[in-house]
Amino acid sequence: MTRRCFLFFPCFAPSAPMFSLDLRLTGTQLTATLRNQGKTAQRYFHHRMIQPVTLTLVDAKGRQVEPEDTRETAKFDATPYQDLYQVLDPGAAVTLLTAEVQRGALRWGPLQWRDLAPGRYTATARLDHQRNQWVDRATKQTGTWPDLWRGELTSRPIPLKI
């Protein structure tokens, strides 16, 4: 895409993604990693119950296999506390979630698949990074991170054998 500039409007061009999300399978361990691709430290929010990395599982016939979302019946504090936001240095990476691929089952954070038929699947991780509001645990004051990157990250699909 080319940059478009006009006399009264600033130049806008697509910016390079701030973060990347990588999904890897090593042996039977599935791992989602967030990497800061920017030149400055960046703040991010990830919580396995409040704002988790989700996983899409597609069978060999191209049908999406729906998981059970344990958050629907779980009781948990969904408050986005200020200390849950972390800072990732430029070029640094952090593991957000790991799971063990088992015969017939997969548990990914709050998502779980049971009674999966043996066979080949395709997995894709997604992080919908939208929160920028926080609550201080001690004072209960609220605030926002005005410069916090918000958007959606999707990993490349990877094959899984269950």
Answer whether residue 8 is part of any domain: no
What pLDDT, on a 0 to 100 scale, did the predictor assign at position 74? 78
What pLDDT, on a 0 to 100 scale, did the predictor assign at position 11? 52
Answer whether residue 29 is part of any domain: yes
pLDDT digits (tens, 9 = 90+) for 10-52: 555 445 568 999 999 999 999 999 999 999 999 999 988 888 8
Residue-wise DSSP of 53-90:
PEEEEEETTSPEEPPEEGGGT-------BGGGEEEE-T
Instruction: Identify the three-state secondary structure at position 93.
Output: strand
CATH number at residue 116: 2.60.40.2970
Residues whose CB is less than 8 angstroms from the CB of residue 162 and which lie 6 or more positions away in sequence, other chains included: 101, 103, 104, 106, 116, 117, 118, 119, 120, 121
Two tokens, residue 124: 């894709």
**Residue ranges of E strands in 109-157:** 111-113, 120-129, 133-135, 142-144, 151-154
Answer whether residue 2 is part of any domain: no
- By C-alpha distance, which of 109, 91, 105, 96 is closest to 31? 96
Answer whether residue 95 is part of any domain: yes
Helix (H) or strand (E) holding 25: strand 19-26
With contact defined as beta carbons under 8 Å apart, do 42 and 87 qualify?
A: yes
Answer whether residue 50 is part of any domain: yes
Give the total number of structural domains in the chain: 1
Range of the domain at 131: 15-161
Answer whether residue 59 is part of any domain: yes
State mean pLDDT over 45-69: 93
pLDDT digits (tens, 9 = 90+) for 144-155: 988 888 889 999
